[in-house]
Structure 1
C-alpha cells in the first residue's frame, strides 16, 4: 500500500460486507464507508478543495470524523484536526494557522464557530454535523451533493495527510505535519505490537483529533476488521461494549485503565474477548496493573511515542508484577521495527547503558516537520534524528527506560532528579491513587521536589507519612519537600498530566 486511501479501497474490495465502523446505533460496512468517503471527497472538491488544501474538523468522535479522514486520504486533502477542548482564541489561532477552505464542525460548537467566522477568511464553506445554523450546510446534505465516483484527485505517498497540533504547554501549539508514508508506517508498527488481526474489533475512546486515536485506528485498518467509536471515555460504557460487542483491542491511557479497574462492574463483566490493551502517555501504577492482569491476563502493551514520531513498546510477555522481571514495568521496551532510537548526552554523543540522556528517533513514522514553522522544524532535528525531549537510559539488553521530560527534570542542589523515579516510590503507598512530581523554586537548593497526590477514596495519609514512605526506595535528596493534595489532576488531550498547570497550582497555593 502506498497511501492511506489504499486502506479504504482494499477493505471495500476484499471485505465489502464486513462491518467497518460502529458508533452507537450507526453501523457501516467497508463498502458503505468507501461510498460515503468518496461522496464527501467529491463534495469537498466541488466546494473548492484542491490537492493539499486543508479541511479542518472540530468535533467529538463519530463516524463523520472517520469519513473526513478517509475523504482526505483518498484525494490528497490535508485534514487539520482541532482540539474541541480549546478556548475560542485558541481555536481561532489553530484555524488561522492552517487556513482551511472547509470547516466541518459539530452543532454543539456552532456558537463558538459563529463568533470566529469574521476572523477566518480562508474558510469558504461551513459544514455542520447535526442541526445546522442558517450560515452552514448540514453534513448529510453536503455529503449527498457529492459524486459517488469521488473527486478527480488522487493522493500521493509524499503528500501531507494530517496536521495535528501539539499541546502547546510551552507556547503556541505547533502543527505536526505527517505524510501518508508516515501514517502507513505508524499503523503498521502499532498493528504489529498490538497483535491486531483480521476481523478484530478495536474500541476507540481516545479523542480522534489526537495522534493516539489515529495510530490504533490505522492499526486496525491495516488488518481490516471493525472500529467501534465512542464519543468519549466512560468506564461503564467501555465495559459494556467489551461485553456486548466482544471488543478485542483497546487503546487507553493509564488513568482510563484505573477507572475501569475501580468500576463496580469490572470484576463481574465478561471481558474474555480482550486480546490486547495498549496503554501509553504515562507509566502504569503497579497496583492498578496487578489488579488488571489478575482479571484480564497478559494483555497489556506499554507503548511510547509522540505526535512527532512513533517509537517503542514493551510487549505483553514482559508485563510481570511479581519476581525479578517486575523492574521491566518501568521500561518502554525496544524500538518498533521501522524505528531507530539513540540516547545521547548534551554533546550529542551516544550514552553508555545506564547513562541518562535524551532520546533521539528516526524512521518512516517520524513527522515531516512543523506547519508554518521552519525555525521549530530545524530546531527539532539533528542530522535526520528527531530530538524528542524525553530523557531515558538503556539497560544491558538495550531496553529503554524513560525517566522524565527534559524540561521537567528537577535540579536540586546541583543534582538531577527525575520525576518518574520519585513517582514510582510514592505510588507504592497503599493510600495513593495517583501521583505527579514537579519542581518548584527553592531559595537554598534552586529547586525542590513537590509531590502532587490524589488519595484513594476513603484513604488517609499526610505529607509526613508519604515522605517517610520513600525512605530506602530513593536517595534522601530525591525525597519530596512538599506534598500537594488534590482531588483531580489537570490533563492534556493525550491523557498526560499537565505539569505546567500543576506548577501553576502549586505556585498559587504556596505563594
Structure 2
C-alpha cells in the first residue's frame, strides 16, 4: 500500500461518519453509538479542549477503565493532533505520579472512581493542569458531559498530520521506571490496516474489546475495526462468563485475548451453554499460547486463531494467520509452538551478540523493523538509542528462526516476566523489596504457573537478626508497586548464587526453585543469623 493511500486514524473517523453515519461504532452496556454520533462528540471534545488552551501536540492523560469516553479522547487526538497519554489504573499511586509527572499533560481526564487518587497528585502537576472528570464536576474538575457540550461542532482549528505523535503508552522499565513509548499517526494507520487484513474485518464484523484501553492491544483492535466500519463492543474489564454471554448476545465475530484470558473462557463452567458459532477470529497476544490450550481452542472454535507477537514499541510485527495444524507433518505440529512469521511491511531478524544474523535454529536476540514501530521513548533519549539501532528495534527477547522464518521464543534477554499478559520486570520488583530495611538483597525470577503462565517469585537475603515472613514482604510490596507485580512466593537464603562477573545467576536460581520440594509459604517467619542455611 502506498503512503498516500493510507488513511490516518482521524481521517477514518471523518470518512466513517460520512459513508456509514447510522452504522453502530460502539456498543457499551446496552447503549449503541453510531459513527455519526461518535464523530460529533469527538469534534465537540476537540473544540472544548482547544477552548481551555490545549494546542496541537499537547498531551492529554487518561485514567479510566474501558468506556466510550476513552475512545472519544483517543478520537480527539486522532483528528486534531493531541497526544493521548494513557495511565494504567492498576499501578500504585506513586507509579501513577511518576507517569503523570513525566508526561506533563495539559489535561487529565479521569473516571470518577479515581477522584481521590488524582486529587492527591494535583500538587505535583502544577496549577496549569486542567482536570475533566467522567462523572460529576467539583471545585477543581469539569464534568465530562458538560465539558463536551461546551465545544463547537466544528472542532479545533487544526488537524493531525502523518508524522505527529499520536499516542504515549508507558511500559515497565528494566531499571524500575516505566518508559513512555511514542507512536505516530502513520504508524497507527499502518498497524490498523495490518490487523484488519489479518483478521478479515468487514462492515458486519463485531469485535469484543475486554483488554484495557491503556494498553496498545485494545487500541489496535478499535482502530482496525473503525477502519472497516465494524462495531466495537466494549467491556469495562475482562470477565470470562460475560465474554461467553456477549458472544451469544451480540454475535461477536472477533476477539483479542491474552492466553490466560482465553484459558479462563475455555475453563468457564458455562462454556458449553453458549453459542460461539459467530466467532471468526481470535487474536491472541502478550505471550505464546500453550500448545495444549491451543489444541483445545482449535477443537472448540475451529481454525480462527491468529497470533500476534510484538510489544508496545513495535505495534505488532509478527502475525501467524490461520496456519495452525493440529494434525499434519512433524514440522507443522512443531510450529504450533511458534509465534509466527513476520507481517507484511515488517522485517525480522535474529542476531548474535556482535549483531550478525544467526542461522536457522540458532538462538539470538530478536530484532524487528517496521513502519508501525514507535518513534522514541518520551524524555529518554538514552533508552531510545539503546533500543533502536540503525532503524532496528532490539526486543531483548531470545528466539530462533526455522528454515521458513517461523519465530520461536526461547527466553528473554531482559529480566521480564509475562504474567497473565502483563509485562513485569524483575529489577522493578527487586527495588521495591530492597527498600525494606530488613532486606539485605533480593533477586526475582519468573516461575511457571498453570494459569498465569508465570508468576513472580522472590529470593531474599535478610539483614542479620531481622525476622520477616513472606507475607510481610508481599504486603510491603503492595504499598509500592501494582499488585500484579508483587511476589506470589518468597524463599529465604543466606546468599545468592553468582556468576564469575559478580552478577546474580538467575539460571541457578530457577534451577534451585524447580528442584525445591517446599518453597517458603506466606506464613513462615524467618530470622537471619550468621551461618544459617535457609
Identify whether the pair has TM-score above 0.5, normalized to the shorter chain.
yes
Aligned residues of 2:201 and 2:230 also touching (Cα < 8 A): no
Q: Residue 98 of structure 2 is aligned with which of 75, 93, 97? A: 93
Whole-Å separation in 1 of the counterparts to 2:520 and 2:263 = 17
Q: Residue 284 of structure 1 is aligned with which of 282, 289, 293? A: 289
Per-residue CA deviations over 1:129-184 (Å, capped at 9, x if unaligned) read: 01233321110000000001111111100000000000235421000000001111
Contiguous gaps of at least 5 residues in structure 1: 411-424, 452-476, 489-509
Closer, same or farther in 2 for the Cα pair 1:2/1:293, shift >3 Å?
A: closer
Whole-Å separation in 2 of the counterparts to 1:167 and 1:277 = 26
Residue of structure 2 in register with 1:320 after alignment: 326
Q: Residue 354 of structure 1 is aligned with which of 357, 361, 366? A: 361
After superposition, where does 1:492-507 map in structure 2 within 5 Å?
none
Whole-Å separation in 2 of the counterparts to 1:71 and 1:426 = 42
Secondary structure of the residue aligned to 1:156 is: coil
Whole-Å separation in 1 of the counterparts to 2:499 and 2:129 = 58
Please say if 1:375 is aligned against 2:382.
yes
Closer, same or farther in 2 for the Cα pair 1:408/1:39, shift >3 Å?
A: same
Aligned residues of 1:449 and 1:480 also touching (Cα < 8 A): no
Please say if 1:167 is aligned against 2:162.
no
Per-residue CA deviations over 1:351-401 (Å, capped at 9, x if unaligned) read: 100010111111211110001111111111111111111111010111111
Please say if 1:482 is aligned against 2:516.
yes
Aligned residues of 1:450 and 1:483 also touching (Cα < 8 A): no
Q: Which moved more, 1:129-138 or 1:155-164?
A: 129-138
Closer, same or farther in 2 for the Cα pair 1:249/1:60, shift >3 Å?
A: same
After superposition, where does 1:155-234 map in structure 2 within 5 Å?
155-168=160-173, 170-234=175-239
Quote the offset at 1:4 in angstroms: 1.4
Quote the offset at 1:487 in angstroms: 11
Secondary structure of the residue aligned to 2:340 is: strand
Secondary structure of the residue aligned to 2:336 is: helix
After superposition, where does 1:418-457 map in structure 2 within 5 Å?
432-433=450-451, 435-436=453-454, 441-442=496-497, 446-448=505-507
Aligned residues of 1:12 and 1:30 also touching (Cα < 8 A): yes
Residue of structure 2 in register with 1:273 after alignment: 278
CA RMSD of aligned residues (A): 2.7
Whole-Å separation in 2 of the counterparts to 1:104 and 1:129 = 7
Residue of structure 1 in register with 2:143 after alignment: 138
Residue of structure 2 in register with 1:337 after alignment: 344
Quote the offset at 1:205 in angstroms: 0.4
Residue of structure 2 in register with 1:461 after alignment: none
Contiguous gaps of at least 5 residues in structure 2: 1-5, 418-446, 460-495, 523-532
Residue of structure 2 in register with 1:366 after alignment: 373
Residue of structure 2 in register with 1:111 after alignment: 116
Aligned residues of 1:17 and 1:30 also touching (Cα < 8 A): yes
Whole-Å separation in 2 of the counterparts to 1:447 and 1:168 = 18
Secondary structure of the residue aligned to 1:56 is: strand
Per-residue CA deviations over 1:480-505 (Å, capped at 9, x if unaligned) read: 333678999xxxxxxxxxxxxxxxxx
Aligned residues of 1:39 and 1:149 also touching (Cα < 8 A): yes
Whole-Å separation in 1 of the counterparts to 2:320 and 2:517 = 31
Quote the offset at 1:437 in angstroms: 8.2
Q: Residue 60 of structure 2 is aligned with which of 55, 59, 67? A: 55
Length, aligned pairs only: 448
Residue of structure 2 in register with 1:391 after alignment: 398
Quote the offset at 1:291 in angstroms: 2.0
Aligned residues of 2:288 and 2:339 also touching (Cα < 8 A): no
Closer, same or farther in 2 for the Cα pair 1:395/1:81, shift >3 Å?
A: same
Whole-Å separation in 2 of the counterparts to 1:487 and 1:143 = 52
Per-residue CA deviations over 1:422-466 (Å, capped at 9, x if unaligned) read: xxx988xxxx55553889753699444667xxxxxxxxxxxxxxx
Whole-Å separation in 2 of the counterparts to 1:486 and 1:245 = 47
Whole-Å separation in 1 of the counterparts to 2:142 and 2:202 = 39
Whole-Å separation in 1 of the counterparts to 2:517 and 2:51 = 58
Per-residue CA deviations over 1:260-316 (Å, capped at 9, x if unaligned) read: 011111112100100000111112222322222211111111110110002102222
Residue of structure 2 in register with 1:28 after alignment: 33
Whole-Å separation in 2 of the counterparts to 1:265 and 1:326 = 30
Quote the offset at 1:96 in angstroms: 0.9
Normalised TM-score (structure 1): 0.82
Secondary structure of the residue aligned to 2:273 is: coil
